[in-house]
Chains A and B, each alone.
Chain A
Amino acid sequence: MLLSGNEAVALAALQGGVALGTGYPGTPSTEILENFERLGGRSQWAPNEKVAFEVAIGAAFGGARTLVTMKHVGVNVAADPLFTVTYTGVSGSLVLISADDPGMASSQNEQDNRHYAVASGIPMLEPSDSQEAYDFTRLALDISNRWNTPVMLRMTTRICHSKTLVRHDGKTQDMPEASFERDIPGRVMIPAYARPAHKRLRDKLAVIDEWNNQEGPNQTISDGQELGLIVSGVTYNHAREAAPGASILKLGMTYPLPFDMIREFAESVKRCVVIEEGDPYLADAIRARGIDVESKAEDFRFGELNVRRVRKILAGDTSPEPKPMPGKPPQLCLGCSHRPVFETLRDFDCIVAGDIGCYTLGVLPPFQAMDTCVCMGASIGVGLGLRHVLPEDQARRVVSVIGDSTFVHSGITGLVEMVYNPPPSGHVVLILDNGTTAMTGQQEHPGTGRTLGHQPTNQIVFEDLARSLGIQRVHVLDPTSDRDNFESVLRKSLDCGEPVVIVARRPCILAAKKIKAYERAAKVSCEACVHETAAAGD
C-alpha cells in the first residue's frame, strides 16, 4: 500500500500493540495520532508536549505500549521529563516521535533533534522512507520493551509527508496487560536513587551499542572501493540517486552509533563522505572517534538536501546555489476573524508580542502588526518584559497576542506571571479564540471541549480561568461582528494600568462548518442520553 510516513507509523503502532497514543499537534507530526485514531487506536491530544510525554511515561510505567508524537520544537517542551525517564526506564514501551523540519517549511527554527538523543541518552532510529517508518516503529517498540528504555524515532518533514510503498503482514500483536509493579528506587529520582540510575543508563546504552554493531538496522551496500557514503534518513535516497556507483553505509540506529561498523566501512573505501541533513551530527561523532571521513561544507547545514545538493557536496562545489523563484506566500483567509484584529493593532500602532499559529501571518502585509514571535506561549512573557522596561508611553502600547490552542499549551503560566508580577502600566493579553488549532489542520484542544476524535469532553473556559486567577478586567467579544466594541475595549485596556484579558472569540472560517456539525452531533447524543435515562427511570 501507498502510505505517508505518518500513516505508516500509525499503522505500526496499531499493529505493535500500542495502548495509548498521545501528543500535541505540530507540523509535520500531526497526522500520526489522527491516523492512529482513525485505525481504531486510542489517541489523545494533550495540552502540550510535556504533559503528553508525562502521560506516556505513566502509561509505560504501568506496563503499556505507548507512542508520543510531537514536532522537533515540541521536544524542547518535553525535554524535562525526557532527560530523566532515560534514567528510570519504562516497563512497557515508550516511543517518542520527533518530527524535525529541516528547511523550516512550517517552523520557527530547524534544530536537529539528533543532539537530544546524545544529550539525554535515548536510543534513536532514523527511517529513510514509509516502509522504514513502519518497520522502525515496530522495532522501536520492541527495543523499548526489551531494554526497558524509551526510544526516539527521529523523522523529518520529507519522511512524514512523502508517500511511498509499504508492505506488512497485517498481523497485530497483542497488547500487553497493564499492571502496576512497585519499583521505588527505579522510579523515584531522588539523588540517592538517581546516581545508580544514571550508571544503569550508561550500562544499558553500552549493551544496545553492542547489539547495534552486531545486528542493528544498518545496511552496507558494497559497490566498489572508490567512494563510500555514510547516510541516514531521507538522504539515503538522494545519495543513491546522486552517486549510483558508490558504496553506502545506511545507518538506521544513529544513537548509539555503530562505530565498529562505521570504521570498517570507512577503511574499505578510498574516499568516505558523510551525507546528512542539518548539523554535522554523524560526521562530528565519527571524526571524534578518529575515523577519517569527509563532512559536507557549512552551506549544507541549512535547509533540506536533495539530489542536486548531494551532487554538489560530492563535487566539493560551494558555488552559490540558485535561489528558488519566490511563490505566493500564505496569508490569512478572506473572512478570517484575525483580520480585523490585526488591522486594529496596526492602526493603533501597538507593539505586538506575537505567538505561534495562523495569526503569525499578521506579521505580513497588509498588517505588519507583529513585533516578536519566539516560541509557543512566549507572547505573554515577552510582552510583560517589554512592559517592565519600556518608557511609559511605549509600554502602554504593548499587547500580547496568543491563539486559543497556544494559550492552553503554554500561555496559562504567562497569565499567572502577569498576575504575580504586574507591570506598573498594566498589560493586555489578547486571546484569539477561533475554536480550533487552525494552523496544523483544525485539531481539537482543551478549550474546544472536544477530544481528538471530536467527542464531547470537559471544556476549559478562558474567561473563567482568567477571572479565577484574580484578573478583574476580562472581556469576551467578537472582533468581526462587533469591531467598534473591540476597538473601544482595546483602547481603554491599553491605558487602564491594570492586567486585562480580552478573549476575541469567533470560529475559524475554515473550521466553522465542522464545529457546528460536531456541536449538533453532541447535542443529539446528549438528548438521546437524557431520553434513555428518562426511559430507564420509568
Chain B
Amino acid sequence: MNNVTNVVIAGLGGQGVIRASDILSETVFKAGMDVKKSEIHGMSQRGGSVTSDVRFGKEVLSPMVPEGEADYLVVLAADQIENNRPLLKDGGVLITPDCIDENELPNKRSLNVALLGVLSTYLDIDDSCWLDAVRANLPEKVFHVNEKAFVMGRAAGKPQGA
C-alpha cells in the first residue's frame, strides 16, 4: 500500500471540511488516480468536530485512513489541531490555518480552498485539475474568490523547502 497517499481534512461543522475533501478527491480523480473518500456526517452540521479521509494512488482499498498513517493532515480550525494530531504519521505534514493570513483572504469561507492550495504544493498534480475541481464543487459566482484563495495558499505553501 506504499503507493497510497493519505490525507485527512479536519475542522468544525460548517467550515467546508467535506467540500474540501470533495474538491481534493475530484482533483486526484481528474489526474487519473484511484481515489476513495470517506467521512462520517450527520451530526456534523451542528458545529461539532468533523474529519474527512481522502486516499489516492494506483489502487486504494480501505476508504479510511488508519490512525497514525496520514501523510497530510489539513486542519481548518486552530482548536482542532491537537485532537487530530494522532492521525498524522511520524514525519507527516501538518497544514494549519496559520499557514496563511486569514485577513488577506477575499472571503473567510474560502479558508478550506486556501489550505488545499497549501496542500497542492506537496502534490505533483496540475493546477488545472485543482481549479476544474474547485469550479465543479462550488457555485460559479464564488469561483473567482476561491481561485484567489487557492493561489494564495499555493504561494504560502512550500515551507521549509518541501
Binding site for B on A (CB under 8 A): 2, 27-28, 103, 105-106, 129, 157-158, 161-165, 234, 237-238, 240-241, 244, 304, 306-308, 322, 324-333, 358, 361, 439-441, 510
Contact = CB atoms under 8 A, between A and B. Distances in A.
A412 to B, nearest CB: 25
B12 A158 contact: no
Contact of A306 (B36, B37, B41, B66): B66
A330 B67 contact: no
Interface stretch (B45-53, B107-115, B139-147): B45-53
Contacts of A358: 46
A237 B43 CA distance: 26
Contacts of A328: 12, 47-49, 79-80
Interface centre among B45, B61, B62, B79 (most CB of A within 10 A): B62
B35 interface: yes
Contacts of B64: 158, 238, 304, 306-307
B102 interface: no
Interface stretch (B82-90, B119-127, B152-160): B82-90
Given A106-B40, A164-B60, A439-B43, 14 more contacts: A2-B25, A129-B63, A158-B64, A164-B63, A165-B35, A307-B64, A324-B67, A328-B80, A329-B48, A330-B13, A330-B44, A333-B47, A439-B42, A440-B42
Nearest to A1: B29
Contacts of A129: 36, 63
Contact of B26 (A2, A162, A164, A307): A2
Contacts of A308: 66-67
9 contacts: A2-B35, A161-B39, A164-B37, A165-B35, A238-B61, A325-B86, A330-B45, A330-B47, A358-B46
Contacts of B49: 327-329
Contacts of A361: 46
Given A2-B29, A27-B42, A162-B37, A331 B47 contact: yes
Contacts of B162: none
Interface residues of B, number: 38
A contact face: mostly helix, strand, loop, or mixed? loop
Contacts of B47: 328, 330-331, 333
B38 interface: yes
B40 A163 contact: no
Contacts of B38: 158, 161-163
B48 A330 contact: yes
Contact of A105 (B43, B46, B66): B43
B140 to A, nearest CB: 18
A325 B83 contact: yes
Sorted nearest first, the 6 A-B pairs with minimum C-beta distance are A327-B49, A106-B42, A330-B48, A330-B46, A27-B42, A325-B83
B contact face: mostly helix, strand, loop, or mixed? mixed
Given A158-B63, A307-B66, A328-B48, A165 B43 contact: no
Contact of A163 (B25, B61, B80, B82): B25
Interface string B49-82: 1010000000011111011000000000001101
A106 B41 CA distance: 8
A331 B62 contact: no
Contacts of B80: 327-328
A105 B42 contact: yes
B48 A105 contact: no
Interface string B1-41: 10000000000110000000010011001000011111111
Contacts of B82: 325
A316 B26 CA distance: 38
Contacts of A324: 67, 86
A330 B43 contact: yes
A224 B62 CA distance: 22
A321 B26 CA distance: 34
Contacts of A326: 83
Contacts of A103: 40
Contacts of A439: 42-43
Contact of B40 (A105, A234, A238, A240): A105
A441 B39 contact: no
Nearest to A165: B34
A158 B62 CA distance: 10
Given A234-B63, A237-B63, A241-B1, A325 B84 contact: yes
Contacts of B13: 330
B65 to A, nearest CB: 9
Contact of A162 (B1, B48, B63, B66): B63
A271 B64 CA distance: 26
Nearest to A238: B62
Contacts of A237: 61-63
A157 B12 CA distance: 20
A27 B42 CA distance: 6
A510 B45 CA distance: 10
Nearest to B43: A330
